[in-house]
Amino acid sequence: MRVHSHAPGPAGHGVVRHARSVARLCAARGVSAGGPEPDLTHAHFTDALFGPTIDEAARAYRAWAARARRPLVVTVHDVPDPAGRGRRDLARCAGYTAVLEASDSVIVSAEHEAAKVARLTAKPVHHIDLPLPAEPAALALRAPEEVASSLVVLGYLYPGKGHREAIDVAAAVGRDRPEGPPGVFAAGTASAGHDELAEQLRVRAEAKGVPFVITGHLTDDRFAAIARAAGVPLVLNREVSASGSLLSWLSCQRRPITWAGPYSREIERRYPGNLALAATSAELAERTARALADPRETRLAEVPRWRDIGAEHVALYRRVLAAHEGAPCSPTS
């Protein structure tokens, strides 16, 4: 089977990394990268990768889809909430609906995303989890010393990611510590169009007396070194649909502290014992203080066992091809 993967954008973007990861896992199951005439096309859509606005992104996707090799499978990320009634919510729902209707089969990365998509289209929706990132090999790299006593947020900086909340909880915890607040370490760089956020965060941290560091771009090895050494791993994006950052912590045998939202509750239900959920700011501060006092609070004895994401994609590809060709599914295709 030959599959062409399509995810336009910078190599470090989470969705682009996800597309590469899925292709790698499928290759281990005998799927080859598509040549001039692949059997199937698998696109990965989030509006930010296809255009500066949702309208432009949807138009760009549909124009590309009209030329793509069929059948066309799309994994949609950052799925909007059909219950939202704001102008942005309505525009994103309309754009995502156009993308779904231009595709032959739809994949989402979480159960609650499947429920959203079902309200946007009558097409069948398939839930396949995000893959757990590959466990980092033994590292010669050492993280900066201050990482071990800091609150750490992994990934790109953008509004809503949780860096502000990390600074605020560091300040709250610091009021009860003789040594003052712990530092906050942002392991990543500003997302495109959000360079001003870095300065806003620095100003906020300085005003609250919280040491604050932004690493800038990180290699995979350095990213993993920081994740393993982090004093307190945090995932504080309240609006996240499915989080690669959260799973990166798990692959480094860390038990992150995270808001109790739809995705984190779903992961904790299906892979229990791997997250520390906080429902309120007070609970977040309490869990953070406890983790600073006892590092075992955020350590996992082993990498969690995960579903075979490559096998699930390959099985879906076979079903889609069989339906498209009107032939029975071959177990050796």
- For residue range 272-302, what is the model confidence (pLDDT) as tens digits? 999 999 999 999 999 999 999 999 999 999 9
Residue 330 has pLDDT above 60, yes or no: no
- For residue range 206-232, what is the model confidence (pLDDT) as tens digits? 999 999 999 998 888 889 999 999 999
171 and 121 in a common domain: no
Residue 118 has pLDDT above 80, yes or no: yes
pLDDT of residue 193: 77
Residue 332 resides in a domain: no
73 and 10 in a common domain: yes
283 and 179 in a common domain: yes
Beta carbons within 10 angstroms of residue 308's beta carbon: 13
Query: Global pTM?
Result: 0.90
119 and 31 in a common domain: yes
Residue 140 resides in a domain: no
Rounded distance between C-alpha atoms, residue 30 and residue 32, angstroms? 6
Average pLDDT over residues 297-320: 96
- Distance set, CA 224 to CA 23, 240, 248, 292 (Å): 22, 22, 8, 20
CB 289 within 8 A of CB 3: no
Q: Which residue has the higher pLDDT, 177 or 240?
A: 177
pLDDT of residue 121: 94
236 and 200 in a common domain: yes
pLDDT of residue 137: 67
SS (H, E, C) 140-199: CCCCCHHHHHCEEEECCECCCCCHHHHHHHHHHHHCCCCCCCCCEEEECCECCCCHHHHH
Residue 23 belongs to domain with CATH number: 3.40.50.2000
Residue 136 resides in a domain: no
290 and 154 in a common domain: yes
* Domains identified in the chain, total number: 2
Residue 279 resides in a domain: yes
156 and 109 in a common domain: no
pLDDT of residue 182: 97
Q: How far does Cα 132 stand from its chain's mean position?
A: 10
294 and 174 in a common domain: yes
Residue 109 has pLDDT above 70, yes or no: yes
108 and 10 in a common domain: yes
Peptide bond into 144 cis (omega under 30): no
| CB proximity list for 170: less than 8 A, separation 6 or greater | 151, 181, 182, 183, 184, 208, 210, 288
218 and 240 in a common domain: yes
Residue 28 resides in a domain: yes
Residue 179 resides in a domain: yes
Residue reference for tokens 């090895």: 221
Give the strand pairing for 32-33 and 2-6.
Answer: parallel
Range of the domain at 52: 2-131+308-325
pLDDT of residue 194: 84
**Partners of 275 in beta bridges:** none
24 and 116 in a common domain: yes
Residue 333 resides in a domain: no
Residue 137 resides in a domain: no
